[in-house]
Amino acid sequence: MEGGEEQQKDYDNKWSRLLHALGEGGHATLQALHSSRILIVGLKGLGAEIAKNLVLMGVQSLSICDEEDVHIADLSTNFLLTEADVGKKRSDVCIVKLRELNERVKLDVISTVSKETLALFKVVIFTNNKSQAELLEWTDFCHSNHVAYIVADTWGLFAYTFVDLGEAWVVNDKNGESPMKGYIESITQDKEGLVTLWDEKLHNLEDGDVVVLSGVEGMDSLNDKELTIAVKSPFQFSIGDTSALPACTKGGVFVQVKKPITMKFKSLRDMLKEKPRIFSTDDTAVTMDWSKALEADRYHLLVQALLHFRQSHNGSLPQPCNQTHAAEVLATIKTLKSQFAALEEKPASAPETSEPQGENQMEIDIIYGSSGDVAPMTAFMGGLVAQEVIKASTRRYTPIYQWFFFDAPECRPDTRPEPEEFTLTGTRYDGQIAIFGKTLQQKIVSLNTFVVGSGAIGCETLKNLALMGVGTEGKITLTDIDTIEISNLNRQFLFRESDISKGKSQVAAAAVAKMNPHVKIDALMTKVCTETEDVLNDKFWKSLDVVVTALDNVQARQYIDRRCLYFTKPMLDSGTQGTKGNTQVVIPHLTESYSASADPPQKQVAVCLLHQFPNSIEHCLQWARELLFEGYFVKDADIVNNWIDNNSYLQTMAPMTQMTAIRTISKCLGSERPQNLEDCVLWARGIFERHFNHALVRLLDTYPLDHKDTTGAPFWIGGKLPPTPTIFDATKDDHVVWLTAAAYMRAYVFGLVADEFRPTNWTALVEKMKHSLDKYVPVPYSVYSNKITADEGIDVVEKEELLAQLPDRASLGTWRMTPLKFEKDDDRNFHIDLIWTSANIRAEEYKIKTVDRLNAKIIAGNIIPAIVTTTALVTGLVGLELYKTIQKKPFAAFRNTFVNLANSIFQSAEPIAPIKRKFGGEEFSDWDFIDIKRGDMQLGAVIKYLKTKYKENVDAVLYGSILIYTTFMNRQKAQARLLLPLTQAIGDATGKPIPASASSILLDITCTDADDNDLPFTPSVRVFHKMRPSSKKKAASAKAPKAAVEGKQEQEEEEEEEETKEQKV
């Protein structure tokens, strides 16, 4: 393979998740970003976060400017700094650490900002701003000289950004999504020209979108023209008057044409004079939480007033809870209000001797905490601002227009602590103390936190927790089973190239320890699942204060969700998919559980569609992976190995499955067992003929091109595309790549080569394999039946003959086939080569657009698109929810969020409360269990207890997925099991003892009512099998008031009497 192709592979591997996030045209977008020159002014927490994100993304060059020295309070948010850096120049320290993130990026320090220096850059970002006058000077220059200009600050729990990209900014792709495409069933011949999609597929278009049609018959003149559409329904759109055209006899295909849009930005000087507009036809502001959208004009004035204060106080912000400073800022706001004739003037002044109250409370809260600096806010804004830099560098995605405001008042203490609480201590946590006070800071450092996952979200989460001080007096437990790959490096900033192949959790823990050496982290490589509950046991879960998930799959989240429900622990979850991100809070008894409102399952592709009627490259790739890769290189080996190791393996199968397995074993151990690489080449050539030629000839024999369905309509229409069988051609690169990949993989599966990786003499070996084709004897098509039938049945004679021909197991000794394990990111193997070329050959047969190797890897490998900006942003939001969780805030304080940074969509809403359902006259939510604290009761006694207390019939009892009792069991077996203590009954059913560390047993039950109707809901049951009833009652009596104890004694005596009877059953 050419060196250039190898370099492209390396590039694609490193940036694969980002390229996937960028979508179609991703390479061009990334190249534009990699040629951008960026300047960041101000390297406190926000500046450091923006710089980190841009360096990881690989901008061409990044210059930083910050002449201030490092202060201990900087360590609240700037992860690049350590305590040893205090007193050093901030920019000098930061640039050294930034170089470690990406050696490819050219980094330098500039000492001063001038018009001459600004002219050198494509984008400039001003943070930690101390002078509105300077900002106005720079905005005038940048606006006039086509330099993208971004201003951003975080002041405590308030943040803003301002974006100016010039008077005629062209956005080439407003959302970054792939163009919509669909198959047309019909087009009406009338004034509307109604296009209906095949099989009622969704078109996902908007009014005003432009499409191009192709393959339309009858209305041929519509083909290859740009048409503006109007949406009529989810699967119909209008293209305008078609009444003068001939009737449409066959639908074709529509493809969306993405059109550039032009945006006109104003300078900061001009926008400071205008009231920001929200909920209008020409909005000029965006907020994170739309419930605060009407406050945009107040935020607008507050930004100016705080900048004015800094300019007047040598760059300082108001001191925590300083009434004099607050009154000064409010007075400035009052003056500014008078300049806005369109605003209703409201009194804003207040006596300096008393705390201002009333209508200015929002401003007061922000002012009081404005000198604070917390990691969640800088992480959030760092992701958001860096995404705006990407937009300004590439003209991809819709930029913020032009203000963005974010306030998180719900995080503040409900009752303001005494002023002494905010006295700064001269520690790295002063930025947090300035907002929350010392008492809450103590709660933060004492937390015991479980972080699950140390990938992209996990790295950002750990950084935020370390900066906040989580785990310094408590502990962080971190687990991740994965190792570091090269594709991780552009978004998982705790890892370096030298860390590749090391465990993520250990490397991440070591990196965090450098940021904050006081943090205690236990780094595990333990999978969080049922099988590891002896490690992550009851004692471990009970010790936790909060669980933070950083996972990439729903199943793992659902398991952790169940554990959080069981142990009543809060769970903070987040996820990303490219520029889209979301967060969800799961708070005991306040919110629904994570699993309560799962996303709808993805629609499965029909088997016939994959095997016979594909109409998208996704279908072709799925077919290549499932049928070819998994079939020949995984399942065949598993079947053969299972047969060798298990004498009764075939007897457990259904007849048709058994026949298929027998044929597979017979071929692999008999007629098709290769002895050398040449045999593998000849086998691969036969497989090519079978799947890319004979199968399609057979399909066309069954359904000729003029075939009609039972209604008389053409069979090959819409998404049913007639194929053209392929003839193998050794001069075609994709045919040779497919053949040699399949042959070498088979050689490895059968143990003919030492490993599955491309050997150093690959070029010569390919030529040798091509020469082996001279010995290939074509298999005539007549071997196969001429028509496709639903069930070809079982040939009993063939079955007996094949079984008789199988070798004696003992003769095989220790030899086994080696099934492949799909690995998409190691290009030394041939996995992606086989799947990619298979899919493209099939796509060409069906006239489907082919795919490049990178996108084949992304689709076949189910790679989740990832971009560091979104990751940083969502972890910041999770950090804010952690502040609320620690304070045990009420339901209304919490927020679930969704963002799409591509088109500047931000949504924030209260979570959903848990649904309560009735059982036995009581209400239960997912957080509620039936708790039985009577020790290791007999199974029958447990059932009797439930029936007595809740008046419902228990029909079945399950322990996990194992049925330990049901009314349909063998009567004698059921009677015996009911007499066993619960732990023994479970052991009898599962063959395993209850884990010794388990403090209780979780059971699921199904019930019927008195009329034998199935109950729609039954709560889970927790049996505390280690608890003695007497000790429990003594403990309860000691805590309860005397009257309450006396009132319960009679009831408990009755229950004990009933229990005694039950034990004698």
Q: Quick count: other Cβ atoms within 10 Å of Cβ 942?
A: 26
Angle between helices 853-860 and 831-845 (to 10 degrees): 100
Check 608, 620, 680, 1007 and give the catalytic one.
608
User: How wide is the angle at C-alpha 616 spanned by C-alphas 611 and 620, nearest 5°?
Assistant: 45
Residue 879 near residue 589 (C-beta atoms within 8 A):
no
Taking the C-alpha atoms of residue 350 and residue 329, their distance in angstroms, rounded to an integer, is: 11
Taking the C-alpha atoms of residue 155 and residue 959, their distance in angstroms, rounded to an integer, is: 52
Taking the C-alpha atoms of residue 259 and residue 227, their distance in angstroms, rounded to an integer, is: 12
From 834, 826, 825, select the one nearest 734 (Cα to Cα). 834
Residue 355 in tokens? 């705390």
From residue 930, alpha-carbon distances to 248, 320, 660, 927, 1000 in Å are: 65, 48, 49, 10, 12
From 644, 652, 612, select the one nearest 808 (Cα to Cα). 644
Residue 1021 near residue 1003 (C-beta atoms within 8 A):
yes
Taking the C-alpha atoms of residue 1004 and residue 965, their distance in angstroms, rounded to an integer, is: 11
With the C-alpha atoms ordered 871, 874, 876, 879, is the resulting torsion angle positive or negative? Answer: negative
Residue 1058 near residue 948 (C-beta atoms within 8 A):
yes
From residue 664, alpha-carbon distances to 624, 634, 656 in Å are: 19, 12, 13
Residue 61 in tokens? 């060059």
Taking the C-alpha atoms of residue 902 and residue 175, their distance in angstroms, rounded to an integer, is: 5
Taking the C-alpha atoms of residue 39 and residue 37, their distance in angstroms, rounded to an integer, is: 7
Taking the C-alpha atoms of residue 401 and residue 639, their distance in angstroms, rounded to an integer, is: 60
Taking the C-alpha atoms of residue 667 and residue 645, their distance in angstroms, rounded to an integer, is: 18
Active site (annotated) includes residue 608: yes
What is residue 173's three-state secondary structure? strand
Secondary structure of 178-237 as H, E, C letters: CCCEEEEEEECCCCCCEEEEHHHCCCCCCCCCEEEEECCECCHHHECCEEECEEEECCEE
With the C-alpha atoms ordered 206, 207, 210, 213, is the resulting torsion angle positive or negative? Answer: positive
User: How wide is the angle at C-alpha 198 spanned by C-alphas 192 and 200, nearest 5°?
Assistant: 85
The one-letter amino acid code at 555 reads Q
Tell me the backbone φ, ψ of residue 591, rounded to 5 degrees: -120, 165
Taking the C-alpha atoms of residue 173 and residue 258, their distance in angstroms, rounded to an integer, is: 7
Per DSSP, the chain holds a count of helices (H) and strands (E) of: 34, 32
SS3 helix, strand, coil % of the chain, rounded to 5? 45, 15, 40
Where does 361-520 show beta strands of DSSP type E? 403-407, 448-452, 475-479
Q: Quick count: other Cβ atoms within 10 Å of Cβ 141?
A: 16
What is residue 40's three-state secondary structure? strand
Q: Cis peptide before 442, with omega less than 30 degrees from 0?
A: no
Residues contacting residue 20 through CB under 8 Å, at least 6 positions apart: 26, 578, 855, 858, 863, 864, 865, 866
Taking the C-alpha atoms of residue 785 and residue 769, their distance in angstroms, rounded to an integer, is: 31
User: How wide is the angle at C-alpha 425 spanned by C-alphas 423 and 431, nearest 5°?
Assistant: 80
Residue 475's DSSP bridge partners are 448
Tell me the backbone φ, ψ of residue 261, rounded to 5 degrees: -125, 150
Report the catalytic residues: 608
